[in-house]
Amino acid sequence: MPKKKISLQAKHLRQSRKRQLRNMSIKSTVKTAVGAARSAIDSAPEDAAAAVKAASRALDKAATKGVVHKRAAARKKSRLARRLNKAVAPAQSTEA
């Protein structure tokens, strides 16, 4: 094999590893934010709006960077919003 081809393969491996580490970091941030939002919804639905907003923002950033597909991000955001609305609705009906 020519030397140039080997060096290009090595460069490709370095780039792939760098991208993998970056993507893992972004995915971890998204998972943490979504988990925090879910636990906030379950524990205190009235105060969970900020956590859902932060998770939505993290999902949007990940979708923009191509780590998560934009439709997958939209689906997760929709599910979080539905869960929040469902949790807040009974609390509002008991207050009225």
Read off the amino acid at residue 20. Answer: Q
Percent of the chain topping pLDDT 90: 80
Task: Determine the Cα–Cα distance for residues 25 and 29; give it in Å rounded to an integer.
Answer: 6
Indicate if the pLDDT at residue 43 is higher than 80: yes
Indicate if the pLDDT at residue 1 is higher than 70: no
Determine the length of the chain. 96
Question: What is the arithmetic mean of pLDDT over 26-51?
Answer: 95
Percent of the chain topping pLDDT 70: 95
Task: Determine the Cα–Cα distance for residues 86 and 45; give it in Å rounded to an integer.
Answer: 9
Q: Dihedrals φ, ψ of 82, to 5°?
A: -65, -40
Indicate if the pLDDT at residue 24 is higher than 70: yes
Task: Label residue 96 by pLDDT band (50, 70, 90).
Answer: low
Q: What is the token pair recorded at 8?
A: 């290009």
